[in-house]
């Protein structure tokens, strides 16, 4: 890696870490598209490096959420083993998708889904009449919601090289009825063991996949990229996790939706 690539990777790590800490995600939905924009298409390499960066994002944000007492511990401990088991399935699917463009299209389609779900929720909330009774969703922490969230979270983490929080956050809002801050904090904690497992599995199979030029990927290249991303990811996550407890939830939800939409457009080829 030359000095320019290292510098850009550090900056990308900072941006990904900030949004990861802010939204309770691993940062991969930011890091992977930005790496694609700067370095070109190489999704399997970026996934491996992004999973390592996601570990740093989680480590940087968890202490702030613990101090705020925002983590739903009972649900997290039920979900974690399920998500770890699902990671292996996601990695296996990812490695069978030899077309990098297809993988990026799947990623972009999922981001559009997340953006649409959040915007719909914001619009429904705005359209509700002041006299209407607001129905408060149940605070569900049992094994059934844990199975739903853990399975989808782990599968996505392995398949797309992200922390899994990008699906856990909107899912927990619907399935569990958690507040946005509790959702973000709990997701930040749950993604740590998930991305550790995902990174181990991804790196162990990295030599079996090819880059965009048809060359086998190397663990060394992924580790160098991960090392460049990691410091910024950690520091950015610390800042993002502090900010999340200071801004209105509706603004946070809208920002999350707009971020997903912008990144989806980028991954679909806008501006290429």
At residue 230, the 3 state secondary structure works out as: helix
pTM of the model: 0.77
Distance CA 264, CA 169 (A): 17
pLDDT of residue 133: 41
Mean pLDDT of the chain: 82
Q: Which of 266, 255, 268, 272 is nearest to 25 (CA)?
A: 255
Give me the mean pLDDT over the 219-233 stretch. Answer: 92
Distance CA 59, CA 64 (A): 10
Between 44-53, 224-233, 234-243, the lowest mean confidence (pLDDT) is in: 44-53
Write the pLDDT tens digit of every residue in 56-110.
Answer: 999 999 999 999 999 999 999 999 999 988 888 887 887 776 665 676 677 678 7
Between 42-51, 136-145, 170-179, 236-245, the lowest mean confidence (pLDDT) is in: 136-145
Give me the mean pLDDT over the 168-185 stretch. Answer: 84
For the purposes of burial, counting CB atoms within 10 Å of the CB of 95, is it exposed (0-12), middle (13-18) or buried (19 or more)? middle
User: How large is the angle between the packed helices 143-160 and 165-175, nearest 10 degrees?
Assistant: 160
pLDDT over 70 (residue 211): no
Measured distance between the N- and C-terminal CA atoms of the chain, rounded to whole angstroms:
23
Q: Are 128 and 74 in contact (CB under 8 A)?
A: no
Q: How many CA atoms lie within 13 A of 88 on its CB side?
A: 4
Domain ranges within the chain, ordered by starting residue: 3-267
Write the pLDDT tens digit of every residue in 27-54.
Answer: 887 898 889 888 887 888 888 899 899 9
Q: Which of 183, 188, 157, 137 is nearest to 86 (CA)?
A: 157
Distance CA 73, CA 221 (A): 36
Q: How confident is the model at residue 9 (pLDDT cuts 50, 70, 90)?
A: very high
């Amino acid at each position: 890696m030359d000095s320019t690539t290292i510098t850009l990777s550090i900056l990308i790590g900072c941006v990904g870490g900030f949004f990861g800490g802010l939204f309770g995600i691993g940062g991969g939905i930011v890091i992977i598209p930005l790496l694609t924009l700067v370095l070109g298409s190489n999704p399997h390499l970026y996934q491996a490096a992004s999973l390592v960066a996601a570990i740093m994002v989680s480590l940087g944000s968890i202490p702030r959420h613990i101090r705020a007492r925002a983590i739903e511990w009972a649900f997290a401990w039920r979900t974690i083993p399920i998500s770890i088991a699902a990671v292996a399935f996601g990695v296996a699917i990812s490695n069978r998708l030899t077309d990098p463009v297809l993988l990026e299209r799947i990623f972009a389609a999922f981001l559009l889904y997340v953006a649409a779900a959040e915007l719909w929720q914001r619009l429904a909330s705005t359209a509700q009449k002041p006299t209407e009774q607001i129905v408060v969703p149940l605070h569900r922490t049992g094994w059934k919601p844990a199975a739903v969230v853990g399975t989808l979270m782990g599968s996505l983490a392995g398949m797309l090289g992200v922390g899994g929080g990008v699906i856990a956050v909107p899912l927990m809002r619907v399935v569990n009825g958690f507040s946005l801050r509790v959702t973000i904090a709990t997701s930040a904690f749950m993604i740590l063991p998930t991305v550790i497992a995902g990174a181990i599995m991804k790196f162990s199979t990295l030599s079996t996949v090819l880059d965009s030029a048809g060359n086998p990927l190397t663990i060394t290249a992924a580790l160098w990229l991960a090392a460049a991303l990691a410091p910024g990811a950690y520091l950015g996550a610390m800042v993002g996790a502090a900010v999340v407890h200071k801004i209105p939830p509706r603004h946070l939800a809208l920002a999350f939706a707009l971020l997903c939409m912008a990144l989806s457009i980028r991954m679909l080829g806008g501006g290429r």
